[in-house]
Structure 1
């Protein structure tokens, strides 16, 4: 919990208690475990509470090459836990890089191999070498600085960082945590090419792509120009073949279109439009006939309802007017259709006299306009006739005796035969009566019958 380390150094003959305080323990790049061989430096002190000697370690490192391996494993585990090795964050390399940055020694054989391969495979790419120390204590800082310079260069599209083969100590700069984090923070894709294929470094694990050797890295970052030319030629051949086939199909389709009857004989189009106009006129006439039939049906219903009150003369006049309106509407429709047909025939004659391909589109629009005007005229006529019919029905309704009752009048019938009483002479006391009102009816009994004055005078003269 305190961060201090307590352990015992021992061999076959002796043992020494050791303590490594937290300030030193935090600087260790390996983990202390049972059985590990250590080289320790420090001072001897006495732990007074227990009265024993102990070594306060100020420097610790594993003994031999095992120290490097332990440091490598510890850093690998740490960075892996932070996600620096995640495959999901690795970026693809650009397919056709314009500029390649080489972070390596400017004097080694590796840089010459990479430059030769890049110029041979893809001479279009520009190569920039960022001189870097790749070995020694100053190498990690130099690698980090060169990576920053390559990222700052606007033209660089991809970065190769690496060196040729060597011992584990020679390659150790690429196992440095600072180098790993610089590769991880790079804004541009990084290819790691350190040593030979069997050499694996922390830089290889963090980079977007690992190449087994610097020469292999040069082959991975650029395409082969000869292969690209072959692909371009193949695509050009395919495009030419596709274009010829497209032109053949287009010519065939054009010939098929030109062979169609409407283009050979434009008169067919005019005849078809004329036939459509006749169909439209017939449909409009049928629609008008249906409207008039419905109006006549409603009129007949009204006549039946008014039959009991005998408005025959008025109904006959209204029917005559309606029939006259119907004849006028039909005559107007026939005349409108005749005018449209006449205009269509004139247009057809003009089309026959002129070049058909220039005028057929204009005549098509004219035919469509005439059809719309005819339909509009029919619709307006039907609306007018419907309005007039509504007015006539309103007038008939005004003459309905039931409507007269609403103004305070009544209808008197004699019971039990329900004969309509038009004169006082039709009843005598005590005849029962039925009186119809606008709302309901009354039952009464005749107490006195008073005929009109003329009737009384006639009766007196006869007496």
Structure 2
């Protein structure tokens, strides 16, 4: 009892007691610690307890012989997976380790999923692709155009493959009667790559067809691996016959696609790319025949019109001589009329010149008359100007007389000035005893101021 009391005292006296966390805070700290310490990684295992929720999310577990872990793959990620896993599938998941806080459960948030082993195959595919690309095996400049009208088609595929049925169905629809030669070969399994390459070389050596289709249906990366064989890619690149690759579906790519002259997304599309449409060819042929007929008819009509024109131009020599004589007569008549009109115009021109020709005496008389007229006009102009100047002078003289101060003085007025010559205008400025000068109309006078008054 004493020891327990001592321990309680020690805990109560501790300077920094541990914080008390809620379960939510603890789980949140654990999740953050996990996500910060464990990076995005690949995990391999067997799928179990797979469930697709109504929201589209996937929930499953990955297990091996000793342990298991829960996984979730949200709809935004699983729609790009390319397949839906099932219980028992062996897969590889690229995921971020985390903790589901609501339940405190450790789980993996899956970003990608692939079948186990597909990653290694894809890496091998990329290494081989890089190698062959560096050798120029996939150079676009080496790609050959397909013949527009192939006489025979060769097909490299398995006789039991669904791709063969798809190709033959498409050819029957587009170009019935087009000969087809099958070069049978397994398209998957051990040794399939070598057999596919051998069939391609056989087709090239026989030279029986104009276009070679290398095709098979869709499948996993392992199923299509025979078409990623280096021997297949080299056989396609070395083929003397243009090759169309139609392997898998639209999203599947193999080395055969890169080495071929043309890649088709499906076997059916390969058949469509390699063969023309019989119906369209017949329509084009009919259109060309109609164009040829119209061109021939236009040419025939044109030649007939040309023949008629030449026939009209064909004239008897006597008729040609008569036409030439008529032409000469017309020219002679035009020449005579032209000379007559020219002589008339020249006579009129000479008459105008004769009228304009004047003797020197007449010229002198005309100039004298012109000078007399100018002298009269000049005299009148001078008299008129002098009259205007006289009127102006009289007006200015009258104005000056009105402004002359002598005229004002003559009427009895006087100019009052101080001794210094300043004019007095206001009596208030004067004082008794001031001496002033008076300027009269005739003479001057001096006076003294006795008194002043301002009215």
TM exceeding 0.5? no
Name the TM-score, length of structure 1 as normaliser: 0.44
Name the TM-score, length of structure 2 as normaliser: 0.44
Larger Rg: 2
Name the structure where helix makes up a greater proportion of residues: 1
